[in-house]
Amino acid sequence: MMEYVSLGRTGLRVSPLCLGTMNFGPHSSEPDSHAMMDKALDLGINFFDTANVYGRKKGEGVTEQIIGRWFAQGGGRREKVVLATKVYGTMGDWPNQSKLSALHIRQAVEGSLKRLHTDHIDLYQFHHIDRSTPWEEIWQACEVLVQQGKVLYIGSSNFAGWHIAQANEAAKARHFMGLVSEQSLYNLLDRTIELEVVPACEFYGLGIIPWSPLKGGVLGGALQKAAEGRRASEGAQKDIDKFRPQLETWEAWCAALGEHPADVALAWLLHQKAVTAPIIGPRTMEQLTGSLRALEIKFSAEQLKELDELFPGPGGPAPEAYAW
């Protein structure tokens, strides 16, 4: 039985694992993608994440189209899903077809709604900080979308801690809800957000949605897979070579625990402050169904300490992490 959690300070209930769809189209066929979304609902996963730029064809929103055609099959699919997508990326060759101007936000929302075959987006996320657009403009555009019922909640992605503070203070001045989530790079090897982003999310009540929880598969039993003859991507192979001593200890630690490394890495994130739901980005049905094991793994304080020693983070929140 899936135990749902609140997304940050909101009353919105989501599954503690979020189905990432970036592989839908480039690596998973449309029939396979549809089957995985059906299976996700069967498993109780109701939180789906996408972006208008996913699909690797500029301006086409290939992944959103795949999801939209799945929604169009009916059967309560859209009603069951908490749908998250993103705005910022380049959707055309003209100057206002990217970033967070009010004009682009309006155009991007309409494009996503059309491709997704829906009349609203549950969580609309800024894919990156836009340093050239004032928050007054961004929030005014979002207020209109919320009033129109086209967007319900707003989130960020790849923001610094001070961006989160700046955004939510500007929203507060307008009596607007502001950001409710932050989607950020976070895993055992990438822990920089513990300095500033995690404390900002805790203070402002944002739920953290970690992306790349397995660091591109490096934390998912990469050494064992290499021994079995399964090739990693070039980028992942560089990380495997860089972190090989740690990974050898890591995979042995997981083996002693009797668990698969990918499940342990996801479970560790679920034990971290402010984390709502790590994003799982399956290419296959086996990867999707296997992820559920992470929800059952619990760590003792001693085990968490051992993982901190193996994969040391920045030392906690700033400034104590580097000063007094």
Active-site annotation, residues: 54
Number of Cβ within 10 Å of residue 113's Cβ equals 18
Residues with Cβ within 8 Å of 24's Cβ and at least 6 positions away in sequence, in order, are 30, 33, 36, 50, 54, 55, 63, 66, 67
One-letter amino acid identity for 211?
W
Token representation of residue 281 = 């980005």
Residues 116/68, Cβ–Cβ less than 8 Å:
yes
Task: Report residue 294: phi and psi, to 5°.
Answer: -60, -30
> How far out from the chain centre does Cα 298 lie?
22
Q: How far apart are CA 317 and CA 112, in angstroms?
A: 37
Transcribe 297-315 into DSSP letters. ----HHHHHHHHHHS--SS
